[in-house]
Amino acid sequence: MMNNGGHGFEHGMDGGLGVFGGILMMVFWAAIIVGIVLLVVWLTRQVAGGHYVGGSHGAGHTDTAIDILSQRYARGEIDKAEFEEKKKDLSG
């Protein structure tokens, strides 16, 4: 007869959690990793000031008056006549 120190069956169950404890631990660490990634993405956007960082606009890029005018025209905020007039004012 083996002496197990009086612990009985609980020793064979790895603290009583078994497979469920392993799954729970994996879910916990996955949530931690996802949280860290989301935090880094959020912080990156805050530092960038919410501006588009990529394509032709790099970090620290500010739009020129012509760029802003073109964007307003593209969004339909101003018509072609007003666009041409303001573009002429800005160029000359």
Q: How does residue 14 score in pLDDT terms, banded at 50, 70 and 90?
A: low
- 81 and 50, same structural domain? no
Higher pLDDT, residue 9 or 35? 35
Q: What is the pLDDT of residues 19-76, one digit of tens each?
A: 888 899 999 999 999 999 999 998 988 887 655 544 455 555 677 888 898 999 999 9
- 75 and 47, same structural domain? no
pLDDT at 73: 92
Asked whether residue 7 is assigned to any structural domain, the reply reads: no
Distance CA 23, CA 31 (A): 12
pLDDT at 27: 95
Geometric angle at alpha carbon 41, from 39 and 32, rounded to 5°: 35
Asked whether residue 4 is assigned to any structural domain, the reply reads: no
- 67 and 48, same structural domain? no
pTM above 0.85, yes or no: no
- 50 and 19, same structural domain? yes
Quick one: CA torsion of 2, 6, 8, 13, rounded to 10 degrees?
-100
In terms of residue numbers, what domain contains 32? 15-54
pLDDT at 81: 93
- 69 and 50, same structural domain? no
